[in-house]
Every structure is written in structure tokens, then in C-alpha cells.
Structure 1
Amino acid sequence: MKPSNKLNITVLLLVVCIAGFAVWHNREPKAEAVFGQQDESPMKVGPKAGLLAPSFTLQGTDGTTYVVDGPREKAVIVNFWASWCDPCKLEAPELNAMATKYKDVLDIYGINVSSQDYKPNAERFIKKYGLVFPVMFDMKDEVYSKYNGAVFPTNVLIDKNGVISEIILGVISPEELEEKIIKLTES
């Protein structure tokens, strides 16, 4: 087997293992009683669907301060990425298209997890893909850790009420992403 094929297989296995760990780490707890109610109201904050999104404030590369903290005018997708991440490269053009197409009802915030990247490479990534949505740098892994980040890319879909609708680990098809955006922006 060629060395490049071995490397590709190794990288693929590593990505699958990381994604598996991330899914296991963010799994839903089992119901404690058949008729009992789970104590997970939208008043609770946490990195899980159905809970209020953990709040954060970061300055974008455009100098504007961006905030996720409760109700807002538009739904938002928080996209955690790294410049070395091949799936992030695949989804960047699609996120650009969605940001433009749904700009009246959706914000997309790109957050480079700079603690796991090299900022000059991230800046080149932004230019190469011509990102049209706001991009921020999470220099100390503070925001990514609030969302239990474990894999790149991670997309957190947050409705207008500030409640997490879904957390997407890895890349999904453009059609699937658009379906999720339509559902998110209709609520």
C-alpha cells in the first residue's frame, strides 16, 4: 500500500474516532422514570438541543462585537472551524451561499478555534474562501469549551429565542443543511 493511502486511512480513522467520541460525549441522558419529567427547560443553559445556548461575546475580524446571549432578531448558526480541517474547507463555500441566501432571517458566525490552529493560516483561510459572514477568533478555547467542542467543524443551530435547536458534528450535505436552516428560521 502506498504511504499516501496509509496516511489517508489513518486520518480517516482518526476523524471517525473523534466524531464517535464527540457523539458519545454529547449523548442524551436516559429518562429516569417512565412518567417522570426531565428537568431540562429552556431556562437552563447548556451545550445541548433544547437548552439555552451558552452566552459569549467575541470581536470579529471586522472590528464589530458579536454576541450570543438569549433572544435575538434572527436565528444564528455558530460554526466552529480550523484552517487545517478538510471538512471545514468543504463546507466553507456552502456556508457562504447560505449566509447570502438567508441573510434576512439567519446570522452565521464563524469561530476559528485559534487555540488549535495557527492564526495566520486561519486568516489565509478567510481570504481564500472569501467568507462573507462574521469571523471571530477564540484564542483561548473559551467559547469552544462552553459548547463541549470535540470535532471540526461543529455547527450549533440556535433559534431566535436563544435555544439550541441542534448541534451538527462534521459536514452534512448542502441539501440537508438548507433543510435544517429552513426549519430553524421558521420557528
Structure 2
Amino acid sequence: MKKWLTGILVVVVVIFVGFELMDTFQESKDREPIRTMQATDFSLPTLTGKEMSLSSVQGKVVILNFWASWCEPCNIEMPHLQSFYEKYQTDVEILAINVTSKDSEVAVKKFVDQYDLTFPILLDASGDISTMYGAFSIPMTIILNRNGEIEQEIVGPVEEELLEKYIQPSL
């Protein structure tokens, strides 16, 4: 009898823990903003060789996307980012920040060509900007409102619908 009760108790605990973990993973994808604070300005070289700063897109909703060419989830999300950009580029700027300290420029160019990306690709060769923004796991996406304040942080690949949900209040 005791073994039977112990078995049932273990099953109940496992089910409870499973549901809690499921909620946790769902919340990490679709959570409320962690903080609203002013984004720190930075300047990085682009894949085309020009220098670009965050302040140069002031007044637009900005999506900072930290990624690398070897990152499989980054490969999954890029077509979604490109499609989103084509729809919203008048009001929203995407700055795709490649973690070049863990990538190569040749691989980045190949990746950009593969997905026919048209938004700015910035190269963070030192990793300083990625570190400054806490992008320790990629892909990571940070959404800034028109005032340059951090509205949302998303760890993991994003889809168009999720981005649309988060930018709507700022448009």
C-alpha cells in the first residue's frame, strides 16, 4: 500500500513540475518587459564598411537583434526578421548585430546573401556591445521605443507575429 501511495505521489509531483516548467518556458518567449530604461548609444562598423550608431536611427522603433551565422535558431528567425522589415521599414529599424567575436566576416557575408537580408548588419568584433546589452545567449532581440527606451527583451528566435505584438504600442 505504501509503495502504491508513494508511486502516486511521485507521479503527481512530476506532473506538477512539468506544468511549472512549461509555464516558465512559455513566459521566457512572451514576457512583460524586464525594465524600461534608456538604451546606451553605440557605434559599430556595418558589413558594407560604414560606421553606424544607434543614435542615427533616433525617432524610430528599433529592433536590436544579436546573432551569429553558426547559430541554428538565428538561421530559423532571419526569414521572419526580413519579412517583418519589408513590412515595417518606414517606422521600424532593425539593427542586426553580429557577434563577430565568435564569427567570421566571410561567414556573415554568406549568411546575409543566403537570406537576402536588406536591413543593416553591424559587426561587433570585440563583443563589447553584445556584453553591454547582456546578449550572452543568442539570438537575443531587444525592442526600443521611439524615445530609445528598452521596452522588451526576447531570448530565442522571434517570429513576425511576436514582433508585431511588441511594436504596436510604440507605432
Task: Report the TM range for the smaller structure's normalisation.
Answer: 0.7 to 0.9
| Residue correspondences, number | 140
- Shift of the 133–51 alpha-carbon distance from structure 1 to 2, 3 Å rule, reads same
Moved over 4 A (4+): none
Q: Which residue of 2 aligns with 1:182?
A: 168
How large is the RMSD of aligned CA atoms in angstroms? 2.0
- Structure 2 distance, partners of 1:73, 1:112, is 23
Report the TM-score when normalising by structure 2.
Answer: 0.75
How many percent of aligned residue pairs carry the same amino acid?
31
Q: CA deviation at 1:174?
A: 2.7
- SS state at 2:129 partner: helix
Query: Aligned AA for 2:161?
Result: E
Q: By percentage of residues, which structure has more helix?
A: 2
CA contact (8 A) 1:54 1:69 kept: no
1:85-130 CA distance string (max 9 Å, x none):
1111111111111111111110001111011122221221111111
Matched, 1:64 2:64: no
Residue in structure 2 matching 1:111, options 73, 77, 97? 97
Output aligned runs, 1:76-87, within 5 Å.
Answer: 76-87=62-73
CA contact (8 A) 1:55 1:69 kept: yes
Query: Aligned AA for 1:147?
Result: Y
CA contact (8 A) 1:53 1:69 kept: no
Output aligned runs, 1:35-50, within 5 Å.
Answer: 49-50=35-36
Segments of 5+ residues of structure 2 without an aligned counterpart are: 1-24, 29-33
Matched, 1:93 2:79: yes
| Structure having the higher Rg | 2
Report the TM-score when normalising by structure 1.
Answer: 0.69
- SS state at 1:83 partner: coil
- SS state at 2:122 partner: strand
Could you say which structure has the greater relative contact order, defined with CA pairs below 8 angstroms and 6 or more residues apart? Answer: 2
Q: Which residue of 1 aligns with 2:11?
A: none
Segments of 5+ residues of structure 1 without an aligned counterpart are: 1-19, 24-47
